Structure 1
Amino acid sequence: MTAPVVGVLALQGDVAEHSRALQACGARVATVRTLAQLASVDALVLPGGESTTIDKLLRRFELMDPLREQIRTGLPVYGSCAGMILLADRITGGIAGQQTIGGLDVTVRRNAFGRQVDSFEERLDAPALGAAATDPPMRAVFIRAPWVAQHGPDVQVLATVSTGPAAGKIVAVRQGALMATAFHPEISGDLRIHRAFLRLVSQR
């Protein structure tokens, strides 16, 4: 069976890092900058970066409304950090006029963990991702990261922070064909999030 083509939105952010992680998991990868490229992929990754910049570029490249429609009709999408903000139906801490693609019934707090200088790594509780007891703990890289402040009843919590002052904060979720993380698995070398997303894609 042919591997799915997973697009990586290539307007700004960690495009190369996500592409390498997906390829390491066996996916065929294509960059997406145009409507034709968006229409040609089986799934899409929204990379970490600057959510306000990606929002503006989505509108400039006339991709915002088509992407909303693709999500409405079932396109699997995974967003990391800025991608989580873009997939949220509601955000707090955004700038005036900031838009999201939407699709996830969550309220996301932008820059919840602080500024760039407050970047850190943290251990996560992530039993929903299917890690065996013998697997190493999932450590996540947070860079100006959001968290999920509220979520609707159809949203599945995939991971929470396990230690420190942010213990219990929700940092990974799924709703239907959509997944999002507040952290950056594309730069940590841990492929479990990308593999989980590809399993989701294969089920569609």
Structure 2
Amino acid sequence: MPDTASLLRDAGDLDRLAEAYGEAVRALRDDLAVQAIREGTLSRAEIEQLGNFAYPQVLRELARREIDPELSAPRGPREHHYSRRPKVHDLATQVVASIDAGTLPPGTSLTAEDLVTLYGVRSRTADAALRALHIAGRITDPENETPAEVLPTTPTPDSPLTEQVRAALAELDAHLDTQASRVAEMRAHLG
């Protein structure tokens, strides 16, 4: 049965390990943020939120230092233009947001009548939005009387950095499981 000194030493080891993992995870997060900035697919605000950056200047400095000062300027996600007609574009954008949010999952049937009911638009606007969404590859072709169906979003291929992240997270999970059992043993001894 371990004595208090060995338990305290183990707790100190766990604390140092947690700190080391925290530093490794922050470095990995920074690498992913740099990749996201380079790809230009996420806005700086999205990167700050997803990466849990406590202060916006940290991300700006990271962009300035690691990539290019021009890239540290705010950038938004690339907007897809579905139609020159504002009402059609707005409706298509709303439908895509519903698809991306999972409200309209792949395989969901969509008709112009559905869009009229759901979004309160005219049937001509709904028909045009369905055509635009089909051209954009988000739904199947709404042929004659057959309703369109929401298509699955095609995942982007994983980058080498994504594979590194997965491997690092798997290693971290294994270490955390080991450490969790050690903590449970310590608590049982103390309790």
TM-score bracket, shorter-length normalisation:
under 0.3
TM-score if structure 1 supplies the norm length? 0.23
- Normalized per residue, which structure has more helix? 2
| Bigger Rg, which one | 2
Higher RCO, 1 or 2 (CA under 8 Å, sep at least 6)? 1
